[in-house]
């Protein structure tokens, strides 16, 4: 555990663990995870050695989007517990030296939030808190599409106007052009800081500034307009982030800030995370999780992912943020499929080694790594075969709309099985028992059948498990400064199977060798630095200096 977690830049050698409350641990038998459940499992995080817990939303919510639609920012939803339960969780974390980061969803509220309820009245002083616009040619004001299918505008009978919702109609977008909106958000954030939280993960934060002229966005030829075009990275983004930082005291209080920024580039991230500008500490890029889709066709248009493209993408971010700014590192979260099923090989033969190797590669990059619950066990995609098994509104809407457009159901189910968000949301697998020990009731999503093999109890008991590999990687970050600071250099960029790179500070060098494929791979002698005299760390297949790597074999050489 790092010594002083609230010193400036403390998050540089930290590892963050994301908890999706609905799926982590149920304590009252209603089949839905809750805050007392999370608190009861904190020893798991302590054993893993993580420094920060990022808590996905637990605020009051109608749960249209599982809590990313907030109706009261100052209260906990009864489904998850009470404010007192949240205080207990914060205290339980702090006792273990773990910091707690809240999810902050302020691009939009729920349509059931009091602000929006008032805003529905055209005469209300809060009318301008959201994006209300008259119809254009009898239809929506612009051709913008919602991320969750259909137009991004919803018609309101009462006023005869439309309101903007980039996500579901139950998630109206706040109008950040209005200074009262911004002050209300900052005041709420200050209340959470006063309550003892250690930072914020900011949901789609680059969407808070939109082009107020609401430009028409032309659909790319031959396909529907993609979501997020015209609504992100607006002209006042930096101004709003700097104002938020100043008004809440984000830098001053050494709070961790990570902004989710779909559609951001290295150049934008470099500006946003430049400490001198006082905006955010780091951002979540979407570039590497978009490489397995047909370019420009959206997340459901599947495509194989050539390893050189993935390596080049991460290397580009490493280089772009080498001198200024900071990276966040992730494979997984509650919106993405499981890493081992997506980038690895989740077959019984290769699951363990591929989960370890993916972890080694990610955690040895420069930046702050994020571990999504269950990733440390090598949990796999849900394996659903019928639409009835899905719960996520994005998946259900897609299924309905794609079938209506005439897409073959088999193709739609393949897309959902590969990319659907419920893949990451099945209950955490604690034991091999009923529902994986997640609940004594009926879980809101079924626990995966592979819980008899993939579960925390078995993983903790087995020193060769994926869990202990993650634990050692986290320990290595805390004890080996090169992991935190070392300059990154990608080697063999075009090799289709192996991921090889070095991290260097002065004469201290770490060389990472990883076969990211399910067949043996060979590295040519002379194409990488000499391994003689190096010490082998965290090998997946036992210490070795051989340049023929077994499927998913990886190791770190230290000199
Ligand atoms: O996600 C924003 C986002 O753009 C994507 O992750 C998106 O949900 C996904 O790619 C859809 O295909 C954030 C949250 O992480 C997500 O859970 C919420 O649904 C969304 O914002 C709205 O709050």
Quote the pLDDT of residue 541: 97
> In this predicted model, what pLDDT tens digit does every residue of 269-296 receive, in sequence order?
999 999 999 999 999 999 999 999 998 8
Query: For the chain, which ranges sit under pLDDT 70?
Result: 1-5, 220-225
Testing ligand 1's pocket by substitution, the residue of 167, 229, 290, 391 carrying the most ligand atoms inside 8 A of its CB is 167
Q: In this structure, what token pair is assigned to residue 487?
A: 């300059």
- pTM above threshold 0.85: yes
Q: Which atom of ligand 1 is nearest to the CA of 167?
A: 22
Of 399, 408, 414, the closest CA to residue 148 belongs to 399
Q: Is 369 in the pocket of ligand 1 (CB under 6 A)?
A: no
Do residues 476 and 486 touch, judged by C-beta distance below 8 A? no
Query: For 318, phi and psi rounded to 5 degrees?
Result: -60, -45
Quote the pLDDT of residue 1: 42
Tell me the CB-side half-sphere exposure of residue 15, using CA atoms within 13 A. 27
Q: In this structure, what token pair is assigned to residue 525?
A: 């002698």
Q: Is 203 in the pocket of ligand 1 (CB under 6 A)?
A: yes
Going from the Cα of 335 to the center of ligand 1, the distance in angstroms, rounded, reads 6
Q: Is 335 in the pocket of ligand 1 (CB under 6 A)?
A: yes
Quote the pLDDT of residue 3: 44
Q: Is 57 in the pocket of ligand 1 (CB under 6 A)?
A: no
CA distance 87 to 77: 14
Q: Is 425 in the pocket of ligand 1 (CB under 6 A)?
A: no
Of 468, 264, 465, 334, the closest CA to residue 21 belongs to 334
> In this predicted model, what pLDDT tens digit does every residue of 27-62 receive, in sequence order?
999 999 999 999 999 999 999 999 999 999 999 999
- 524 catalytic? Reply is no
Q: Whose CA is nearest to atom 9 of ligand 1?
A: 335
Testing ligand 1's pocket by substitution, the residue of 71, 105, 108, 147 carrying the most ligand atoms inside 8 A of its CB is 147
- 77 catalytic? Reply is no
Q: Is 343 in the pocket of ligand 1 (CB under 6 A)?
A: no
Do residues 331 and 288 touch, judged by C-beta distance below 8 A? no
């Amino acid at each position: 555990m790092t010594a002083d977690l609230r010193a400036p830049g403390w998050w540089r050698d930290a590892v963050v663990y994301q908890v999706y409350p609905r799926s982590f641990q149920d304590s009252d038998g209603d089949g839905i995870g809750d805050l007392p459940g999370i608190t009861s499992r904190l020893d798991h995080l302590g054993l893993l050695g993580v420094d920060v817990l990022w808590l996905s939303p637990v605020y009051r919510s109608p749960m249209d989007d599982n809590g990313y639609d907030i109706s009261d920012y100052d209260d906990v939803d009864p489904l998850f517990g009470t404010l007192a339960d949240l205080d207990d969780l914060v205290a339980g974390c702090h006792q273990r030296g773990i910091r707690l980061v809240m999810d902050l969803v302020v691009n939009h509220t729920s349509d059931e939030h009091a602000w929006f309820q008032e805003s529905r009245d055209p005469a209300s002083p809060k009318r301008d808190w959201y994006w209300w616009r008259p119809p254009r040619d009898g239809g929506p004001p612009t051709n913008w599409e919602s991320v969750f299918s259909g137009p991004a505008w919803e018609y309101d009978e009462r006023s005869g106007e439309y309101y903007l919702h980039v996500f579901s109609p139950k998630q109206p977008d706040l109008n950040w052009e209005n200074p009262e909106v911004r002050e209300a958000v900052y005041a709420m954030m200050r209340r959470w800081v006063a309550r003892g939280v250690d930072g914020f993960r900011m949901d789609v934060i680059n969407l808070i500034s939109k082009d107020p002229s609401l430009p028409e966005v032309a659909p790319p030829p031959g396909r529907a307009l993609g979501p997020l075009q015209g609504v992100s990275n607006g002209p006042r983004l930096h101004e709003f982030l700097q104002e938020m930082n100043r008004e809440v005291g984000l830098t001053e209080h050494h709070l961790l800030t990570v902004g989710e920024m779909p559609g951001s580039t290295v150049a934008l991230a470099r500006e946003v995370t430049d400490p001198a500008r006082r905006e955010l500490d780091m951002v979540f890029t979407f570039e590497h999780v978009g490489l397995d889709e047909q370019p420009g066709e959206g997340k459901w248009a599947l495509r194989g992912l050539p390893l050189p493209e993935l390596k080049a993408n991460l290397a580009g971010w490493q280089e772009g943020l080498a001198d200024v700014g900071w990276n966040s590192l992730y494979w997984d979260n509650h919106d993405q499929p499981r890493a081992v099923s997506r980038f690895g090989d989740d077959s019984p033969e290769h699951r363990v080694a591929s989960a370890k190797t993916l972890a080694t590669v990610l955690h040895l990059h420069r930046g702050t790594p994020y571990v999504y619950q269950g990733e440390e066990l090598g949990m796999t995609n849900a394996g659903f075969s019928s639409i009835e098994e899905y719960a996520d509104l994005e998946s259900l809407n897609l299924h309905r709309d794609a079938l209506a457009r005439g897409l073959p159901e088999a193709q739609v189910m393949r897309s959902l099985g590969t990319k659907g968000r419920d893949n990451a949301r099945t209950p955490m697998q604690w034991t091999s028992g009923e529902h994986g020990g997640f609940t004594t009731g009926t879980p809101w999503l079924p626990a995966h059948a592979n819980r008899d093999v993939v579960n925390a109890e078995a993983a903790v008991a087995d020193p060769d498990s994926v869990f202990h590999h993650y634990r050692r990687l986290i320990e290595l970050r805390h004890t080996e400064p090169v992991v935190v600071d070392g300059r990154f250099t990608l080697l063999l960029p075009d090799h289709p199977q192996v991921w090889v790179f070095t991290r260097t500070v002065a004469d201290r060098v770490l060389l990472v060798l990883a076969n990211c494929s399910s067949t043996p791979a060979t590295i040519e002698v002379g194409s990488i630095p000499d391994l003689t005299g190096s010490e082998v760390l965290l090998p997946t297949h036992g210490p070795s200096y051989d340049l023929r790597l077994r499927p998913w074999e990886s190791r770190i050489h230290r000199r």
